[in-house]
Amino acid sequence: MRHDPRPPIGHRHRGIGLRLAALRAAGAGAWAAFLAVLGPGLLAGLSDDDPAGITTYSILGTEYGYRLLWIIPASTVLLIQFHLIAVRLGAVSGKGFVALVRSRWGRGWGYAAVLGLLFANFGTICAEYAGIAAAGAMVGVPAWLSAPIAGTLIAIMVVVGSFHRIERVLLLVSSTLVLYIVDGVLAAPDWRAVASGAVTPRLPLEPAGWVALAAALGTTLAPWGLAFIQSYAVDKKITVATLRWARVDVVIGSVLTGVVGLAIAVACAATLYPVRAHVETAADAAMALRPLAGSFATTLFGAALLGASLLAAAIVPISTAYSIAEATGEPASLGLDSRHFHWFYAAFVGLTVAAVSVVALPRLPLIPLIYSSQVVNAVLLPLQLLALNLLDADVAVVGDARPARWVRMLSWMSLGLVLACLAGMVWAWR
């Protein structure tokens, strides 16, 4: 007999509806209602500032100064828009992204979606553990030790912990990203130039600049993040009744994501760009700051890198495990009973072990794997945005929650902008 992919309310975590009812009975107000749905937007947004994202923002500031900062606010607007669509789809359908694709267009499309996400996400998971290893190397801890320890602790937390305990730990870890904002302020940038660069679109004149724009867009609006927020909203029991507060959570999480990304780029633009420093990874940026901004700035950058890596090393495998379980029709939830076998937990542990093995064994081709996964992300992103737009406009899926025509038009225009950015990159490299 096939299991219900949505575990019953009260099984390891209570539904949002029950929690809100309890809050109302206790006389709690809007603030308590917001806290009850807090999580999906913050975690999906801030986990986008992972080692790959930090590296992208670091290179953006180091190579181009303040000139291309505008792509970060622009990407943040798109992040808000499509995360809102994903949360709405999860709330009205009760299905994650892959599950919804499978039920609407058939198993074949569901398998195709999960295969694309699986290949792209695995390289990203390796990048997260590479970030953990890089942060450990800054204090003398080798990769063969730091990556397995982190992977073991994360796996134990996800498999054994309850839904709300996992969420609290992840939210606590995500708070370390505020250190990047401190770093950006300590860099003492030219704030007038920052403001101008952030609001004035300037197109790059060289092919590498187009690549930087596409990379910044892709790392902010990541396919795994879109899949995660929809599945996580379903797992958290977000409903149409609680969607209003979930939207606030999405906006706050997306804006914080943009602020952190901007702070990283500004810190590098103010310190590394004037001396034409060479940066290939986030760890390179942290070490390059030492002679220019002091050891304290390097410590902050490294500590935030570790926090961002740990957060994403949990979120990306969770997102992938959601998608794998949804594609096969199996239960997909952090609230499953870990005393019994579930494909969701098996997928999570398997991905974690594989990624840790890749990072801990230096002779394996880590860089080509990560690079190829980002290429898949670039191809997968517009396809996923297309699917989200089609589902969001489908009355059979969203019913009365179908957005207004002007909202749908904006979504299609945003997809056009993403395609134009990718086309500009391809044209520049022709």
* Reported confidence tier of residue 378, pLDDT bands at 50, 70, 90: confident
* pLDDT of 71 over the 90 cut: yes
**CA 230/CA 6 separation, integer angstroms:** 13
Above 90 in pLDDT, residue 2?
no
Say which range, 7-16, 87-96, 241-250, 397-406, has the weakest mean pLDDT: 7-16
Mean pLDDT calculated for residue range 31-52: 85
The CATH number for 36-428, chosen from 3.40.50.1970, 2.40.340.10, 1.20.1740.10, 3.20.20.10, is 1.20.1740.10
Mean pLDDT lowest for which of 30-34, 46-50, 181-185? Answer: 30-34
| CA–CA distance, 109 with 193 (Å, rounded to integer) | 47
Specify whether the CB–CB gap between 376 and 122 falls below 8 A.
Answer: no
Higher-pLDDT residue of 124 and 13 is 124
Model confidence at 10: pLDDT above 50: no
pLDDT of residue 391: 95
Give DSSP secondary structure letters for 19-56.
HHHHHHHTT--HHHHHHHH-SHHHHHHHTTSSHHHHHH
Mean predicted confidence (pLDDT) in 322-346: 93
- Distance in angstroms (rounded) separating the CA atoms of residues 167 and 158: 10
pLDDT at 8 over 80: no
Amino acid 24: pLDDT: 52
Q: How far apart are the first and last CA of the chain?
A: 54
The two structure tokens encoding residue 5: 């992919």
Query: Given a cut of 70, is residue 211 above it in pLDDT?
Result: yes
Which one has a higher pLDDT value, 213 or 235?
235
Is the distance from CB of 130 to CB of 310 less than 8 angstroms? no
Residue 3 has pLDDT above 50, yes or no: no
pLDDT (0 to 100) of residue 4: 45
Is residue 87 within 8 Å of 247, Cβ to Cβ?
A: yes
pLDDT tens readout for residues 92-144: 999 999 999 999 999 999 999 999 999 889 989 998 898 898 888 888 888 88
CA distance linking residue 381 with residue 254, whole number of Å: 17
Question: Exposed, middle or buried: residue 256 (CB in 10 Å: 0-12, 13-18, 19+)?
Answer: buried
Q: Is residue 323 within 8 Å of residue 118, measured between CB atoms?
A: yes
The DSSP call for residue 3 is P
The stretch 356-361 carries a mean pLDDT of 89
> Helix %, strand %, coil % for the chain, to 5?
80, 0, 20
Of 300 and 430, more confident: 300
Kindly list the domain boundaries of the chain, sorted by start residue.
36-428
**Per-residue confidence (pLDDT) for residue 37, from 0 to 100:** 85
Q: Please, which pLDDT band fits residue 368 given cuts at 50, 70 and 90?
A: low
Task: State percent of the chain over pLDDT 90.
Answer: 50
Average pLDDT over the chain, rounded to an integer: 86
Q: Between 29 and 59, whose confidence is greater? A: 59
pLDDT at 253: 94
Q: Cβ(252)–Cβ(170) under 8 Å?
A: no
